[in-house]
Amino acid sequence: MQTSLASWIRDTTDGREAEAILRTCVHCGFCNATCPTYQLLGNELDGPRGRIYLIKQVLEGKPATAATQLHLDRCLTCRNCETTCPSGVQYSHLLDIGRRVVEKKVVRPMAAAATRAALREGLTSNAFAPAFRLGQVLRPFLPATLRSKVPPLATARTRGAARRAHPRRMLYLAGCVQPAMQPNINAATERVFDALGVQLTAADGAGCCGAIRHHLADLEGARADARRNIDAWWPQLQSGVEAIVMNASGCGATVREYDHLLREDPRYAEKAARIVAATKDVAEVVPGLVEQAAPRMGPVEMRRVAFHPPCTLQHAQKIRGVVESMLRAVGADVVGFEEAHLCCGSAGTYSVLQPELAGRLRDRKLERIEVARPDVILSANIGCISHLQGGSARPVMHWIEWLDRALAPA
Ligand code: SF4
Ligand code: SF4
């Protein structure tokens, strides 16, 4: 066992990467202070330091158990611990490796395995949109937990997207679940870019960014998603589009790791690095465009806003403060609230797979926000928006939808 373990570490990319990351952790435990699951459960093994220890043990040859898997499953992959860590530990990469290794060693109960397979295949398939629409029609008859994840049909505002040509061109990723769940986000994004002088289009052939498969330990599936998207974007990038824009921060965080995901693929590694360099979150593009275009603003409805920055924006992509500054510049009264650094519990498929913890984190987030009495809660990721919407009577929307409403019609 020791020999095969030593050769796994020496001869595989995962092994070498895991060993290098483990060496950077000094076990200080600072990360526990900002870990949502440690805050809720108070168990060392439900914090980053404990999970690192569990992964280390498994990689050293100790048997993985269902309990090991549970502690890793409970991690939101929010990466708050990476923001806090003074030693620069790349926790999420280690967790990915640890989850894959444990997944091979611990057989999940049949029902849990079936749920994960249904999420992996269902959310990324073409059947999702019609199934979701059916769910909206049947919403009054759905059980409460499911109902909270399905917005009523009437809330889907679908004013037409922009179709004017502009010399400046950018691409965006429409996403897998977003067009069905909240179609107005993509339409609003196109309208805002149009109003600011940029033609924004979704490339044919692109689809899920790969996050769903990646977080469900399906590495090869995530790589296939990445390659398909690169193939769809590459010709457009060659023909002069300025950037590939993400209006879901979860997708942005994933696409920005395509170079890491495909680093050993001789056909795609270089292209992946170019794609990463061209990828921008809407928060990195729109504030500059607003400043340049100085657009006319209409009367600002829902002026008092609370902005919930998704973990994939603030911790994974390290984009902080720009949305709030821009909203203030265009007339919003941006109110602060406690624990803005903590995850809301959405975290991709987490809210389905860990509903109890996800619900507690959502309620805690909404309680903190409620103290500020905003007119509207804004965020930047479809998962967070839907999750918060399910627990709040206040309107919840993407900040780009708020900006779209605030821009005076051209
Ligand atoms: S991950 Fe970072 S903060 Fe956490 S125990 Fe290791 S070195 Fe300390
Ligand atoms: S990623 Fe988030 S939930 Fe997971 S260990 Fe780090 S802080 Fe805790």
134 located within any domain: no
Residue 127 lies in a domain: no
305 and 204 inside one domain = no
Q: Residue 63 corresponds to which tokens in the numbers above?
A: 């048997």
At how many degrees (to 10) do helices 282-293 and 183-195 cross?
Answer: 30
First-to-final CA distance of the chain: 69
Ligand 1 within 6 A of 48 CB?
yes
Residue type, 375: D
Atom index in ligand 1 nearest the CA of residue 28 equals 8
Centre of ligand 2 from the C-alpha of residue 32, in Å: 8
Note whether 51 and 78 are within 8 A (CB): no
Same domain, 159 and 260: yes
| 25 CB within 6 A, ligand 1 | yes
Helices (H), 87-241: 91-105, 110-122, 128-137, 144-147, 178-181, 183-195, 211-215, 219-238
Residue 14 belongs to domain with CATH number:
1.10.1060.10
Q: How far is CA 282 from the centre of its chain?
A: 14
CA of 343 to the centre of ligand 2 (A): 9
Nearest CA to ligand 2 atom 5: 48
Q: How far is the CA of 48 from the centre of ligand 1 (A)?
A: 7
Read off the CATH number of the domain in which 357 is found. Answer: 3.40.50.1860
Q: Is 193 helix (H, G, I), strand (E, B) or coil?
A: helix
Report the distance separating Cα 95 and Cα 219, nearest Å: 13
Give the integer Cα–Cα distance in Å for 278 and 283: 14
Do 222 and 213 contact (CB within 8 A), yes or no? yes
CB 275 within 8 A of CB 237: yes
Q: Is 79 in the pocket of ligand 2 (CB under 6 A)?
A: yes
Give the Å distance between the CA of 24 and the centre of ligand 1.
8
Give yes or no: residues 256 and 348 share one domain.
no
- Domain identity same for 264 and 170: yes
Please tell me the distance between residue 356's alpha carbon and the centre of ligand 1 in angstroms.
27
267 lies in the same domain as 173: yes
Q: Whose CA is nearest to atom 7 of ligand 2?
A: 35
Residue numbers of the domain that contains 338: 297-407
Spatial distance between the Cα atoms of 26 and 279, rounded to a whole number of angstroms? 33
Residues 248, 224 share a domain: yes
**Which numbered atom of ligand 2 lies nearest the CA of 74?**
3
- Cβ of 85 below 6 Å from ligand 1: yes
Ligand 1 atom nearest residue 84's Cα: 3
Mutation pick for ligand 2 pocket among 49, 76, 85, 96 (CB with most ligand atoms within 8 Å): 76
pLDDT at 257: 98
70 with 159, same domain: the answer is no
Where a domain ends, among 262, 284, 306? Answer: 284
**121 within some domain:** no
Is there a single domain that holds both residue 306 and residue 271?
A: no
> Of 21, 23, 24, 26, which is best to mutate to test ligand 1, by the most ligand atoms within 8 angstroms of its C-beta?
26
- Shared domain check, 239 and 158: yes
**What's the pLDDT at 217?**
87
160 and 268 in a single domain? The answer is: yes
Q: Is 234 in the pocket of ligand 1 (CB under 6 A)?
A: no
Interval between CA 97 and ligand 2 midpoint (Å):
15
CA of residue 24 to ligand 2 center, whole Å: 17
pLDDT of residue 1: 41
Q: Is residue 227 part of a domain?
A: yes
Q: Do both 349 and 248 map to the same domain? A: no
Q: Mark which of 284, 317, 334 sits at the end of a domain.
A: 284
**Is residue 77 one of the residues assigned to a domain?**
yes
CATH number, domain at 229?
A: 3.40.50
- Residue 86 CA to ligand 1 center (angstroms) comes to 7
DSSP state of 314: I
- Nearest to residue 36, comparing CAs of 69, 68, 84? 84
Residue 118 lies inside a defined structural domain of this protein: no
pLDDT tens-digit profile, the chain (410 residues) = 445 777 888 888 999 999 999 999 999 999 999 999 999 999 999 999 999 999 999 999 999 999 999 999 999 999 999 999 999 999 999 999 999 999 999 999 999 998 998 888 877 767 666 666 666 666 666 666 666 666 776 554 556 666 789 999 999 999 888 888 889 999 999 999 999 999 999 988 999 999 999 989 899 999 999 999 999 999 999 999 999 999 999 999 999 999 999 999 999 999 999 999 999 999 999 999 999 999 888 888 899 999 999 999 999 999 999 999 999 999 999 999 999 999 999 998 999 999 999 999 999 999 999 999 999 999 999 999 999 999 999 999 999 999 999 997 76
| Main-chain phi, psi angles of 177, to 5 degrees | -95, -20
Task: Provide the pLDDT for residue 156.
Answer: 47
User: Are 294 and 300 a contacting pair, CB within 8 Å?
Assistant: no
Ligand closest to Cα of 215 equals 2
State whether the beta carbon of 163 lies less than 6 angstroms from ligand 1.
Answer: no
Q: What is the pLDDT of residue 176?
A: 84
Name the domain count of the chain: 3
Residue 112 lies in a domain: no
The bound ligand whose nearest atom lies closest to the alpha carbon of 358 is 2
224, 254, 284: which is the final residue of a domain?
Answer: 284
Full DSSP string of 72-115:
HHT-----HHHHH-TT---HHHHHHHHHHHHHHHSPPPHHHHHH
Give the closest residue to 259 by CA, choosing from 244, 243, 275: 275
In a domain, 146, yes or no: no
311 lines ligand 2 (CB under 6 A): no
333 in the same domain as 258: no
